[in-house]
A and B are shown apart, each in its own frame.
Chain A
Amino acid sequence: MTMQVKLRDPTAESASVRRSRLAPPPSLDGRTVALMDIGKSRGGEFIDRLEGHFRKAGVATKRYAKPTNTKVAPTALMQQIAAEAQIAVIALSD
C-alpha cells in the first residue's frame, strides 16, 4: 500500500490546482504531427489510417514507435518527438 503524499502550494495560488491541458493549435498548417505507435496489437493499422487522413489534408507526419506498450516511452524518444514535431498522436490505447 502506498501513502498519498500531499504538498502545500508554495505559490501565491493565482493558478489552478489542476493544470489544464495545452490548448489545441488553431491550425495544423506548417506543423508536423508525430504519430507514435505505443505497441498494442494492430496499433500500426490505426496509425496507418490516421496517417492517410493527415496526408490527404496536406499535413506532414512522422512515425515513431515505443519499444513496448508495457512501459512508458524512453526519454530519448520523447525528446526526439519534442524536437521534430509540434503535435503528437499517441495510439492505440485500449
Chain B
Amino acid sequence: MTDNLPRDGFVIVAKRDCPTCVMVEPVMRSLDRAGPLAVVSQDDPTFPAGVRAVIDDHDLERSFHLKVETVPTLIRFKDGREVERTVGWDRKEWTRLAGAAAVGDGLPDWQPGCGSKSVEPGVHEALIARYGEPGLKSRQISVGNWDDPIEACFERGWSDGLPVVPPTDERILRMLGGTERKPDEVVGLIPPNLAPCTVEKVAINAVMAGCKPEYMPVVLGVLEAALDPLFVLHGLLCTTHFSGPLVIINGPIARAIGMNSGINALGQGNRANATIGRALQLIVRNVGGGLPGAIDRATLGNPGKYTFCFAEDESDPVWEPLSVRRGIAPGKSAVTLFHGEGVHGFIDQKSRTPEELVRSLALGLFGVGHPKLCDAGNAVLVLTPEHYKIFKDGGWDRRRIENELYLALKRPGRDLVWGAQGVAEGLPPKYADQIVDKFQPDGVLIVRAGGEAGLFSAIIGGWPGQRVREECQAVTREIRL
C-alpha cells in the first residue's frame, strides 16, 4: 500500500513518543522543503510540526505494509518503489540517501531509534490478522453482524458449559507466538475420534480456554503427556467413573507463568492453573469429539473435568519434587498427568510425629474407591506445609514417607473380603488369608502444595483403570520450552 506516498521522494515513519524522532523533527522539515516527502506518523498526526504531508497512521496499516521495525525509518522511493532505507538517526546514512537537506546541523552523528509501534508485542499479530495473511489453515466461520461471538461458540457446541474466548485470528496468532513450533505440526491424534491435532488447533483451543501465549509450551507438554498411550486418554474419557485428567506442573516454568502452588492451589483464582487444565479438556472436546453424554459416559463426573491443574510447591530445596522422583532431571520443567477424581479433604490436627501422621494418612487413603477395595486405582496425596513440617522435623524425606505409607497401607484380607464387616463390597475370598496392599508400590504420588495454615492434606483418588499397571499409569514428561 503506497498510495499517497511520493512516487519519487522520501517517506519517514516516526512517532512522537520516540526521542530520536523528536530530535530529527528539524531534519524532517528540511526534507519537506527540499522535495517530495510524506511522514507516516504513528501516534500523533500533529507530529512532526511544519511538514505538509503527514499521514495519520494510528491504525498502523501503513507502518505494517512498509514493514517498519524501527522509528524513525527513512525510505527513498523511485518510480513508486522503495529503493533503499535507513533506520534510527545516522547522519552519514541520511545524507547518503537524501543529500544535504538531511545534514541535521547541531545533532549528534548517530542516535538509535525506537521500536515501531507496529511491532510491539501483540500489535504485530493484530496487524497481520487485519491487513496481512495470517497463514492459518483452520476454516473461518463468520458470525452474524449482530450476533454475540461467545453465544456463537456455545451454539456450535465448542464450549464446556462456560463462556469461551472467541478464537479470532488476532488472538490465535498471539497464542502461536508463545511457541516456536510450527502451526501445522501435528502434535498427535486426539481420542475418541483420533483426529490429528496441529499446533494451530491447540492454539485455538488455548485461546478459547483463556490461556496467555506464554502458557503454550505447557499446554503442548500437557497434551503430549495426555496422548502417551500409557495414559489411556480414550479409556479415561469414556469411563463411567468420576476421573478426568489431573495436571501437575513442576519446574521453573510453573513459577515463570505464575502458577499457584500455595493458598487454594486446588481451587479457583489463578489464570494459569485454570486455563491450562481447561485447554486440555477443550482440545479433547473439540478436536477429539469427546462429548459428555456421547463418548464420555461418566455417571457423575467431577468438577475437575472443567479444569484440574496446579503446580507443586518446590520452595524447600531438600524436598524431591514429584517430577524428579519420576525420572526428570532436577531443574527441568515437567508435567505429570494422573487420572484423578475429586479432592477429598483429610483432617489431622492431633498427630505430632511422622509415625502418627503416616498411620493417620493411611486411614484416609484406605477410603479411595471404597475402604474395602484394594488396587482399584491409585492416589495423589497433596501434602500441605503444616503436615509436611511434621515429616520434615522428624527427619523423613519423600522416599521415607512413601515407604512408610506403603507399609501402613497393608491390611489383612480377612477384613476386606466380600461380606466382612457386614459389607458386601470387598475383595474375593481368595484374599482372606493374605496381607493385601491398598495401592501398587509406587501408587501414591506425593505432591507438596497449599497454604501455610491448616493441618490438612488432600487425597485425590485415581481410576480403577490404573490397576493394570502395564497398560495404564500416570505419565510424567519434560516440557519442551
- Tell me the A residues contacting B by CB distance below 8 Å: 2-14, 17, 19
In the complex, 5 of the A-B residue pairs with CB atoms within 8 angstroms, ordered by the A residue number, are A2-B145, A8-B138, A10-B287, A12-B195, A12-B287
**Quick check: A10 and B289 within 8 Å, CB to CB?**
no
User: Which 5 A-B pairs rank lowest in CB-CB distance, beginning with the nearest?
Assistant: A12-B195, A8-B138, A10-B286, A2-B145, A10-B204
- Chain B: residues with CB nearer than 8 A to chain A? 136, 138-146, 149, 152-153, 156, 158, 166-169, 172, 190, 193, 195-197, 201, 204-205, 208, 282, 286-289
Known: A2-B146, A12-B287, A14-B289. A7 touches B141 (CB 8 A): yes
- List chain B residues, Cβ under 8 A from A9: 138-141, 204
Least distance between B219 CB and chain A CB atoms (Å)? 13
Chain A, Cβ-Cβ closest to B201? A10
Query: What CA separation (Å) do A26 and B387 show in the bound complex?
Result: 65
A11 to B197 CA separation, bound complex (whole angstroms): 9
Give min CB distance, A1 to chain B, whole Å. Answer: 9
Residues of B within 8 A of A10 (CB): 138, 158, 167, 201, 204-205, 208, 282, 286-287
B169 neighbours in A (Cβ, 8 Å): 6, 8
Residue in chain A with minimal CB distance to B283 = A10
- A7-B168, A12-B190 known; 9 new pairs, CB 8 Å cut-off, are A2-B145, A4-B144, A4-B145, A7-B140, A7-B143, A9-B140, A9-B141, A10-B208, A13-B138
For the complex, give the distance between the alpha carbons of A77 and B158 in Å.
26
Task: Please tell me if the beta carbons of A6 and B196 are within 8 angstroms of each other in the complex.
Answer: no
Q: With A10-B208, A10-B286, A10-B287 known to touch, is A5 a contact of B158 (CB < 8 Å)?
A: no
Chain B residue, CB-CB nearest to A19: B156
A10 to B172, CA, bound (A): 11
Query: B205 — which chain A residues lie within 8 A by C-beta?
Result: 10
How many Å lie between the Cα of A12 and that of B284 in the bound state?
10
- Neighbour of A11 across the interface among B145, B146, B287, CB < 8 A: B287
- Is there contact, CB below 8 Å, between B140 and A8? yes
B216 CB, nearest partner CB in chain A, Å: 15
B292: min CB distance to chain A, Å: 16
**Neighbouring A residues of B282 by C-beta, 8 Å:** 10
Determine which of A3, A6, A14, A19 lies in contact with B140 in the assembled complex, contact meaning CB atoms within 8 Å: A6
| Bound-state Cα–Cα, A10 to B138, Å | 8
Cα separation A11 to B157 with both chains bound (whole Å): 10
**B172 proximity list for chain A (CB < 8 A):** 8
Q: Are A12 and B143 in touch, CB under 8 angstroms?
A: no
Query: Of B168, B195, B287, which is within 8 A of A5 by CB?
Result: B168
What CA separation (Å) do A2 and B147 show in the bound complex?
10
A6–B142 CA distance with the chains assembled, in angstroms = 4
Cβ-neighbour of B168 out of A2, A6, A12, A19 (below 8 A) = A6
What residue in chain B is nearest A12 (Cβ atoms)?
A: B195
Residues of B within 8 A of A8 (CB): 136, 138-141, 167-169, 172, 204
Q: Which residues of A contact B167 (CB under 8 A)?
A: 7-8, 10
